[in-house]
Amino acid sequence: MLVTVEDGRATRLRGNPDHPVTQGFLCAKVSRYLEREYHQDRLMHPLRRIGSKGEGRFERISWDDALDEIASRLKALAAGYGPECIMPYSYAGTMGYLQGESMDRRFFHRLGASRLDRTICATAGAAGLMEAYGARLGTAPQDFVHARYIIAWGANILATNVHLWPFIVEARRCGAKLVVIDPVATKVARLADWHLAPYPGSDLALALGLMHVIFSERLDRCDGDTASLRARACKYPPERVAELTGIAAEDITRLAREYAATRPAVIRANYGLQRSERGGRAMRAIAILPALIGAWKEKGGGFQLTTSGAFDLNKNALARPDLGPPARTLNMSTLGRALTETGNPPVKALVVYNSNPAAIAPNHNLVRHGLAREDLFTVVLEHFQTDTADWADIVLPATTFLEHTDLYFAYGHYYLQLARPAVAPPGECKPNAEVFRLLAARMGFDEPCFRDTDDDMIRQALDTPSPYLEGITLERLEREHFIRLNVPELPFANKLPDLDGGPLDYTPPLESRLGSERKAAYPLELVSSKNHDSLNSTFGFRAETDAQTAILEMHPEDAAPRGIEDGCAVEVFNARGTVRLSARVGAHVRAGVVRAPMVRWARKAADGSNVNVLTADRLTDIGGGPCFYNCMVEVRRCAVSQP
């Protein structure tokens, strides 16, 4: 990214034309980031709560007062209940190593706080990929131009991976076919050569059906022993898979034949498909498909979910888990339960940064119930007064990525990137790393690592025996800004996946149209996938984002018997709660499925809620991730015209 700065103020953001992936343009979301940078509601000073919990009333205080109060409260709670009563909560509000997983981790490890299992986005898919190949690598985006058959499986590329799109466009100019597998008729699906809309959470069954055809018609080109996998796939003929997925048997057969016969063939999977009870193993099965047809041996063939495994930095040097004793681990996807059910000790303090759990966590009402506890001391590092900040006791103003040093990885390409501040922080905003340095000093942590500078930590992170990072230094990053890791062009050309690993048998998710917990009162499957023009809850301050995430897409066959017309106000509900939205009726989803783009700030909504009042905190088959897309609901028309 290039930043134009005039008189100390950033005035323009654009992609770096010299970068082989961003190629001079940015996604629609980040290109508007200066709205966030200079918004009138941005937090500038530390705040202390003066109203009741959740009311969102605060007074300005000094940094000294804020740090002293946080340190004294944490010390007292650790002494009274044990340090595991303190829970950190963070994710990818920044993708940088320094502001996301360095001094903060050192602080909590030294304190002895509970560890956090950071599962909210990607762990199920990552676990499936590790079961298959033992590495989180994939086809480089530039190589997609060589593909002649491209499957976007649960990948809304124009919304969540737009820098891959030019390579796909070039491949299609050369004759490539684009197939989209997605329950939602996304913009990519409408532009594709073929769109298949499976039931939510049925991807494992579809993958097994493709394997059945590949094996039964002898389309496989795998060098390994596939006997065990053949036996499993044998149980999933297209006719059975059609019943499980809602895709016609002849389409399953056709897809398998075309995929196996067209060379090179590549699959771009994304994380939506693993947000299901069977999501981890679904990703494992899909990742195996390229090995079965020999796609890894050809440039432009293979599979990409993530490239993050290539960024093999020295994470232990950054996080220093050795600073404290082993501690219990709490799963961030079950935050509501952690705050309301966990004992021995109960969670008495919550420190939130790089995340907005009151908006993005599943089972919203239970999360809100936990945040409302008067005996829960909550600290939030933020840019805005978000849903979560409303529940805080202390709010600290944080810097944006334009205002601090950081080292960035990617999960869609292989370039490591260094960023220095482009503009000065406004007001009294501080980088996360600096906040935790200051807190460590207040707590009396005197280990030298708490005095490491940002550059010290970058050098420590780069001090790794990984061949992927050989020759990459801070000095070289200063000169070049972004450097390609030493990853082979065809990472799995000579590596067979584990074809006889964990179980791949499919049973429908419990909360699905074929699941054992389906209730007649809730006949519709809800998908709460990404909003095209927002980044999770990052742009929730925008009125446009609030409007875009206040809709429910319905098929006409589901709308008509409920008396629902395009634009009318509806209530979407299940046993966990109710949210009011505006109906958008059309062929946006298949019949029996509804979609609500995620995720609006609940505090901006008329009913004070968002779609996560409906989602369960049930966990995936492997990886401990959330099952956002296994959610059964009913919809009824409201008496009033607007939600």
CATH of the domain at 286: 3.40.228.10
Q: Are residues 192 and 100 in the same domain?
A: no
Residue 385 lies in a domain: yes
Q: pLDDT tens, 463-519?
A: 999 999 999 999 999 999 999 999 998 889 888 898 887 789 999 999 999 998 888
Task: Look at residue 642 and tell me whether its pLDDT is greater than 70.
Answer: no
pLDDT of residue 640: 64
Q: Are residues 241 and 293 in the same domain?
A: yes
Following DSSP, what letter does each residue of 223-285 receive, concatenated? -S--HHHHHHHTT--HHHHHHHHSS-HHHHHHHHHHHHHSSSEEEEE-GGGGSSTTHHHHHHH
- The answer to whether the beta carbons of residues 206 and 273 sit under 8 Å apart is no
What is the predicted pLDDT for the residue at 45? Answer: 98
The count of other CB atoms within 10 Å of the CB of residue 248 is: 14
Among residues 323, 312, 313, 307, the alpha carbon closest in space to that of 459 is found at 313
Residue 324 lies in a domain: yes
Q: Are residues 336 and 437 in the same domain?
A: yes
Residue at which a domain ends, from 305, 334, 368: 305
Domain region containing 377: 41-120+311-470
Domain boundary among 279, 305, 331: 305
Number of domains within the chain: 4
pLDDT digits (tens, 9 = 90+) for 339-393: 999 999 999 999 999 999 999 999 999 999 999 999 999 999 999 999 999 999 9
Shared domain for 214 and 234, answered yes or no, is: yes
Three-state secondary structure call for residue 332: helix
56-94 burial, b for 16+ CB within 10 Å, e for fewer?
bebeebeeeebbebbbebbeebbeebbbbbbbbbbbbbb
- Residue 97: pLDDT over 90: yes
Cα(315)–Cα(241) distance, integer angstroms:
42
CA atoms within 13 A on the CB side of 574: 24
Neighbours of 176 (CB within 10 A): 23
Give tens-digit pLDDT for 604-632.
776 788 999 999 999 999 999 999 999 99
DSSP state of 136: -
Select from 163, 478, 491 the least CA-distant residue to 308: 491
Q: Is the pLDDT of residue 586 over 90?
A: yes
Asked if residue 517 belongs to a domain, the reply is no
Q: Is the peptide bond before 503 cis (omega within 30 degrees of 0)?
A: no
Tell me what pLDDT residue 546 has: 81
**Is the bond preceding 599 in cis, omega lying within 30 degrees of 0?**
yes
Find all residues with CB under 8 Å of 241, minimum gap 6, and list them: 205, 206, 208, 209, 212, 247, 249, 252
387-423 pLDDT, tens digit each: 999 999 999 999 999 999 999 999 899 999 999 999 9
For residues 301 and 320, state if they share a domain: no
Give the three-state DSSP class for 2: strand
Q: Are residues 30 and 63 in the same domain?
A: no
Same domain, 192 and 338: no
Residue among 556, 549, 559 at smallest CA distance from 528: 549
Name the residue type at position 204.
L
Name the region of 524 (left: φ>0; alpha: ψ -120 to 50; beta: rest). beta
**280 and 226 co-located in one domain:** yes
Token pair 């942590």: residue: 445
Distance CA 335, CA 161 (A): 29
Q: Rounded CA gap, 527 and 183, in Å?
A: 8
Query: How sure is the predictor about 534, in pLDDT bands with cuts at 50, 70 and 90?
Result: confident
Q: What is the mean pLDDT of residues 511-538?
A: 90
d(CA 7, CA 14): 18
Tens of pLDDT along 317-328? 999 999 999 999
Average pLDDT, integer, range 13-38: 94
7 in Cβ contact with 424 (< 8 Å): no
Q: How far apart are the first and last CA of the chain?
A: 39
Alpha helices in 30-120 (DSSP H): 33-37, 63-81, 97-101, 103-111
Yes or no: say if 571 and 579 are a contact pair by the CB < 8 Å rule. Answer: yes
Helix, strand, coil percentages in the chain from 3-state DSSP, rounded to 5:
35, 20, 45
> Considering the domain boundaries, does residue 116 fall inside one?
yes
Cα 112-81-49 angle, rounded to 5 deg: 90
- Specify whether 357 is located in the same domain as 445: yes
Q: What's the Rg (C-alpha) of the chain? A: 24
Say if residue 161 is in the same domain as residue 33.
Answer: no
Tell whether 190 is covered by a domain: yes
The Cα–Cα gap between 588 and 156 comes to 14
For 162, list phi and psi in degrees, rounded to 5.
-65, -25
Mean of pLDDT values over 85-94:
96
- Tell me, letter by letter, the H, E, C secondary structure of 396-446: EEECCCCCCCEEECCCCCCEEEEECCCCCCCCCCECHHHHHHHHHHHHCCC
Query: What's the pTM value of the predicted model, to 2 decimals?
Result: 0.96
Residue 160 lies in a domain: yes
Please report whether residue 567 resides in a domain: yes
Instruction: Yes or no: say if 333 and 582 are a contact pair by the CB < 8 Å rule.
Output: no
Q: Residue 70: which CATH number? A: 3.40.50.740
Name the percent of the chain lying above pLDDT 90: 90
Which residue has 């897809």 as its token pair? 255
Answer whether residue 643 shows pLDDT above 50. Answer: no
Residue 480 lies in a domain: no
Checking if the pLDDT of 577 tops 70, the result is: yes
Give the pLDDT band of residue 545 (cuts 50, 70, 90): confident
- Length of the chain measured in residues: 643
At 131, which helix (H) or strand (E)?
Answer: helix 123-133
* Residues 464 and 445 placed together within one structural domain of the fold: yes
In three-state secondary structure terms, 14 is: strand
Residue of higher predicted confidence among 530 and 241: 241
> Last residue of a domain, which of 241, 274, 305?
305
Which residue type does 403 have?
A: E
Q: Are strands 149-153 and 265-269 parallel, antiparallel or unpaired?
A: parallel
- Going by C-alpha positions, the residue among 642, 101, 610 that lies closest to residue 319 is 101
33, 118, 588: which is closest to 330 by C-alpha? 118
Say which residue the tokens 């329950």 belong to: 183
- The overall average pLDDT reported for the chain is 95
Same domain for 216 and 94: no
CA distance 309 to 284: 16
Three-class DSSP labels, 539-575: CCCCHHHHHHCCEEEECHHHHHHHCCCCCCEEEEEEC
Split at pLDDT 50, 70, 90, the class of 295 is: very high
List the beta bridge partners of residue 415: 484
Please return the burial class of 14, using the count of CB atoms within 10 Å of its CB with bins 0-12, 13-18 and 19+.
middle
